[in-house]
Amino acid sequence: MVGKFRMLITGAAVLFLTLTTGLFVNWWFVDSAIWLSSTSPNQKYTIQLTGNKGRGGFIVYSVVKYNLLKDGKYITKNQVAHYGDSMDISFELAYPEHAWVNENVARFWRNPDRPAANLDNLVISNHTDKRIRYLEIHTKDLFFVFDLQPHSDLQLQFSHQTSGNSIWTKGEFEDGSRIEYGVSFSDSNSDQPLGYCMGIEYDHITINEERIHETRFRPNSN
């Protein structure tokens, strides 16, 4: 009797593990339908979003992925832009608004509770001789940047928040070497706009603001 009970428990555990693994594989790896496709003003760049933009569950996370295209050809595909479980904000609540800032930059954001809220500034500097094919940038808002030229600067404005801020980015140089780095900053307790600088070198990224300076080294890899 005990042996049968153990076999029943073992079978149930195996079934649960199989179902969970199947759900995870489907969630993380399987392509899904495109529910948003946005093209730049001159029709050069396109952002496609796929996955579940709603809130995740207790076991299975919701995940939103993106494809980036230039002149109709993929720059990158199936990159994760957002994920979370039932305790995390959904993509559709975090970024209900989107627009192209210019031909090379798209912004996703949520309108602030106070319409007159100030915007923070982020200056991105490519200090290398290589073109940056794309950048995904997370602040309070989400940005996609295309073709940041060598030795050039780009200024972005994003939603201000007093409860601390984080800036995280990933992307790719024209030769395929990867870019990835993120840092968090403490509460500002200020309603005034803040300024941040992101300097991209061949082997590391520096992100700083008035009160905090952070540097982390990230080797490039293909």
Question: Is the model's pLDDT at 44 over the cut of 60?
Answer: yes
pLDDT for 22 equals: 42
Give the model's pLDDT for residue 7.
56
Confidence class for position 3, pLDDT limits 50, 70, 90: low
Cβ pair 136, 143 in contact under 8 A: yes
Which CA distances in Å does 188 have to 92, 160, 184? 27, 10, 12
CA 170, 196, 128, 149 dihedral sign is positive
Q: What is the pTM of this model?
A: 0.81
**pLDDT tens digit sequence for 54-66:** 988 777 889 999 9
* Mean pLDDT for the stretch of residues 2-24: 50
Instruction: Count CA atoms closer than 13 A to 118's CA, side-chain side.
Output: 10
Complete DSSP assignment for 176-222: S-EEEEEEEE-----SS--EEEEEE-SSEEEEEESS-EEEEE-----
Compute the average pLDDT of residues 95-124.
Answer: 88
Mean pLDDT across the chain, nearest whole number?
A: 84
